Amino acid sequence: MLRNEIQEKTGLTRKALEYYEEKGFIKPEKMENGYRNYSEEDLHCLKTIMMYKKLGLSIKDIETILYQQTSLGSLLRKKQFYMQQEEERIKLLEQLVKDNNTAEVMKQVSYLTQQETIYEKLTGIFPGYFGQLLFSSYQPFFNKPLKQEQEDAFYRLVEYLDALPSFKLSKKEQDYLEEVTASMDYSMLKEIQTSKMNAIQDYTTWNKKHQEEIKQYETFKNSEEYQTSLIKQIQEKLKKYMIEHKYYEIAIPLIRSFSKAYDDYYEQLQKANEHYLNHLSLKK
């Protein structure tokens, strides 16, 4: 079956298919005309991956199950330790371990999908480093389920992002990004975002209070260590990619439409930026 057909049967984006092919999960036949021909085995594999992802398993967990034959029972114990808050997903994993009734679990997974946060939806639609780069900083703003009135803007964003050309990182950059993001959890991102909000809500007071930290930060940003670092390379690549494809003109307004929390933050950020520019002009 061709890409359009397998996208229709799975609901996956083009970039998701490319990612799963790159990871070696699926192996579509490459035809002479450049199109890919997906097999029933590819389709089954993709549906299995989607099921496991809806149950909260990471790509690394799925790789372990599919290629190393690790038992679901062992994986479940790990999930119970690290993800106590996801009780419903754990119950479904227990059922899967007990009787391996994937058909019944898939039905119940559809209910979990309705409870997914916007962040979970986006990182599921765009797996891999593309999703990590774009959405990790938005996580505190995307921690609620998508409402019906937000769906139009949300799916317009998905359509726009999926039509973009692939964003390429070297293997070294990919490995670095995975290592950095692996240690970041929601509480850390929330703390960072809270700090940003405090800064922009009263810029003058915050600026006076953190003069020393600002100087240290500016010194580091101008240092050779930072200027030659992998994170700097990745940031520059992403910035160029976003500018070339009008991310700020297209994506940001859509994000503001379906996330009131981000819209409020954006408004405050604009005011703080204006205040900062006025402050600079007065110093000249």
Residue-wise pLDDT for 46-89, tens only, equals 999 999 988 888 888 888 888 765 556 656 655 554 454 456 67
Residues in the chain: 284
Segment 170-215, tens digit of pLDDT: 888 888 877 776 655 555 666 666 676 677 677 677 777 777 877 8
Q: Residue 90, SS3? A: helix
What residues does each domain of the chain span? 3-117, 118-284
Q: What is the pTM of this model?
A: 0.66
Q: Yes or no: is domain 3-117 CATH 1.10.1660.10?
A: yes
The β-bridge relationship of strands 36-37 and 29-30 is: antiparallel
**Shortest CA distance to 6 belongs to which of 130, 33, 35?**
35
Residues 140-172: b if buried by 16+ CB within 10 A, e if exposed: bbbbeebeeebeebbebbbeebeebeebebeee
Average pLDDT over residues 267-283: 70
Give Dmax over CA atoms of the chain in angstroms. Answer: 73
How many other C-beta atoms can be found within 10 angstroms of the C-beta atom of residue 107?
Answer: 10
Structural tokens at position 226:
């930072």
**Cα–Cα distance for residue pair 20/45, rounded to 1 Å:** 10
- Alpha helix (H) ranges present in 147-229? 151-163, 171-182, 186-201, 203-209, 211-221, 224-227
Tell me what pLDDT residue 97 has. 80
Average pLDDT of the segment spanning 5-16? 94
- Tell me the mean pLDDT in the region 215-229: 86
Mean pLDDT of the region 1-28: 93
Poorest-confidence range of 91-105, 171-185, 237-251, 269-283?
A: 269-283
15 CB neighbour count, 10 Å cutoff: 21
Cβ partners under 8 Å of residue 158, min gap 6: 13, 122, 125
